[in-house]
Amino acid sequence: MDIQEIKQRFGIIGNSPLLNRAINIANQVAPTDISVLITGESGSGKEVFSHIIHQMSPRKHGPFIAVNCGAIPEGTIDSELFGHEKGAYTGAIGERKGYFETVNGGTIFLDEIAEMPLGTQARLLRVLESGQYIRVGSSKVEKTNVRVIAATNVDVYDAVKAGKFREDLYYRLNTVPLKIPPLRERKEDIFLLFRKFTSDFTDKYRTPPIQLDDEAQQVLINYSWPGNVRQLKNMAEQLAVLERDRVITAATLLTYIPHETGRSNLPMRLDNQPKEDFSERDILYKVLFDMKRDMVELKKLVAEIIEHGGVSKNFQHNSPALTQLYRDIELPSVNNHETQFTLQQPVNNSVGNNNTDYNITHEAEEVEESLSLIEKESDLIRKALKKHKGKRKLAANELGISERTLYRKIKELDL
């Protein structure tokens, strides 16, 4: 299969030489039974590559399982991987098949391999070399035919040097190393990925398309993306859902990028306003606020229908959810001589928003809503400060924001 076909089939975006090289290696090694060690930073696409290798191998119709070695307690990992006999240990009521048995004929993806305990490493080495394993609590040698793909976001050789990883297993797994480059080493892919993700998410959430202005594009490309493709994807999703102004500026983008310690790759700050971390709390507030607005508008709509038996042409609303409703279903219109059924565009009163997709009008109800958001925030901050007797650090902790953000908010809200 040629490289473009592979990308298309597996939804891989990007065209940088390092990414193409990784795809070529995956393509070449896939048809063999050779073990592969995939290395790459968090969120760079290791799991995606494990699927590519399995799907392009003769085992593609066999089972595939991904096991996170770092997430299984040391006491149970042997039994999960290799199975156990009845009574093998306290609590082993019945016998259990391990993944190396159930995945026979397929592929097992061992994620975070550096976290695998030494005892399990010995069992893994044996199964890699001879296809043999023994269930926990048994003495009978079993056979299996499983291909192993392992992955790590740390340098396994460091673990070898520290005596935490078997050197023989390291070489056995690393027959073909496959390095997934971090995003900052394939800058030319960043914008392509961003465009794909934002267009997918605006489709999914049925929000208007998103664009970046020139400065924002520079920020996007020059950021170091420690969380790689996953981080970029999450950011695209947040923008698609939360931003009203669909032309994103550098300043807006920076609110979605956590401050880096040590290895900042960001260009100079583009405005002189202090930037806050875009905390989960803020996002939650925004989502709740939008939901509440939709509820208010829906209530208005229901009242309108009950009162007039349909939607009059004077009915105005302020909710993208209702616009969607209008698009999806035909609402009953009031058929009397003075009213005709026409759909109203939503009106949007978010302050400082000059988005042309949504007209701006102010309704008392809405203004109240946005004020109460600020009120709630001050209220929470006051309560937290009171509870912790004015100790900002503890209050910030409880609120789930940084001390710096709290400090700024105290000033901003004049508390």
Ligand X SMILES: Nc1ncnc2c1ncn2[C@@H]1O[C@H](COP(=O)(O)OP(=O)(O)OP(=O)(O)O)[C@@H](O)[C@H]1O
Could you tell me the smallest distance in angstroms from the CB atom of residue 130 to ligand X? Answer: 29
Smaller CB separation from ligand X, 35 or 153: 153
Amino acid identity, position 397:
N
The answer to whether residue 43 forms part of the interface with ligand X (CB under 6 A) is yes
Phi-psi region of 144 (alpha: psi -120 to 50; beta: other; left: phi over 0): beta
In this structure, how many other beta carbons lie within 10 angstroms of the beta carbon of residue 38? 28
153 binding partner (options ligand X, Mg ion, none; Cβ < 5 to 8 Å by kind): ligand X
Could you tell me the smallest distance in angstroms from the CB atom of residue 6 to ligand X? Answer: 11
11 binding partner (options Mg ion, ligand X, none; Cβ < 5 to 8 Å by kind): ligand X
Smaller CB separation from ligand X, 25 or 296: 25
The answer to whether residue 6 forms part of the interface with ligand X (CB under 6 A) is no
How many of the chain's residues bind ligand X (CB under 6 A)? 17
Q: For ligand X, which residue has the nearest CB?
A: 45
The answer to whether residue 47 forms part of the interface with ligand X (CB under 6 A) is yes
Smaller CB separation from ligand X, 156 or 384: 156
The answer to whether residue 390 forms part of the interface with ligand X (CB under 6 A) is no
Query: Dihedral (C-alpha) 56, 59, 60, 61: value to the nearest 10 degrees?
Result: 160
Binding residue for ligand X, selected from 14, 98, 106, 320, defined by CB under 6 A = 14
Backbone angles phi, psi at 96, to 5 degrees: -145, 140
Q: Give the 3-state secondary structure of residue 134.
A: strand
Q: 147 pairs with which residues across the strands?
A: 107
Smaller CB separation from Mg ion, 47 or 85: 47
Could you tell me the smallest distance in angstroms from the CB atom of residue 80 to ligand X? Answer: 19
33 contact partners, CB below 8 Å, separation of at least 6: 147
Say if CB 295 and CB 322 are below 8 A apart. Answer: no
d(CA 46, CA 24): 15
The answer to whether residue 40 forms part of the interface with ligand X (CB under 6 A) is yes
5 contact partners, CB below 8 Å, separation of at least 6: none
The answer to whether residue 39 forms part of the interface with ligand X (CB under 6 A) is no
d(CA 45, CA 25): 14
Smaller CB separation from ligand X, 107 or 319: 107
d(CA 258, CA 138): 51
d(CA 297, CA 286): 17
Binding residue for ligand X, selected from 22, 35, 39, 44, defined by CB under 6 A = 44
243 binding partner (options ligand X, Mg ion, none; Cβ < 5 to 8 Å by kind): none
Q: x-or-dash pattern for ligand X, window 122-161, by CB under 6 A? A: -------------------------------x--------
Q: Which stretch, 53-61, 226-234, 302-310, 341-349, contacts ligand X (CB under 6 A)?
A: 226-234
Could you tell me the smallest distance in angstroms from the CB atom of residue 125 to ligand X? Answer: 24
First to last CA, the chain: 64
Of 270-329, binders to ligand X (CB under 6 A) are: none
Smaller CB separation from ligand X, 69 or 384: 69
Binding residue for ligand X, selected from 114, 210, 229, 311, defined by CB under 6 A = 229
The answer to whether residue 13 forms part of the interface with ligand X (CB under 6 A) is yes
The answer to whether residue 181 forms part of the interface with ligand X (CB under 6 A) is no
Smaller CB separation from Mg ion, 13 or 92: 13
Beta strand pairing status for 107-111 and 247-248?
Answer: unpaired
**Which residues would be at the binding site for Mg ion (CB under 5 A)?**
47
Q: Find, among 316, 348, 337, the residue nearest to 207 by Cα.
A: 348
Q: Give the 3-state secondary structure of residue 226.
A: coil
Could you tell me the smallest distance in angstroms from the CB atom of residue 45 to Mg ion? Answer: 8
Smaller CB separation from ligand X, 89 or 205: 205
Q: How many CA atoms within 13 Å lie on the side-chain side of 370?
A: 10
d(CA 108, CA 154): 20
Beta strand pairing status for 36-39 and 176-179?
Answer: parallel
In 45-186, where does DSSP find H-type helix? 46-55, 74-82, 99-102, 118-130, 156-161, 167-173
Of 233-252, binders to ligand X (CB under 6 A) are: 233
Could you tell me the smallest distance in angstroms from the CB atom of residue 145 to Mg ion? Answer: 25
Rule CB under 6 A: which residues touch ligand X? 11-14, 40, 42-48, 153, 193, 229-230, 233
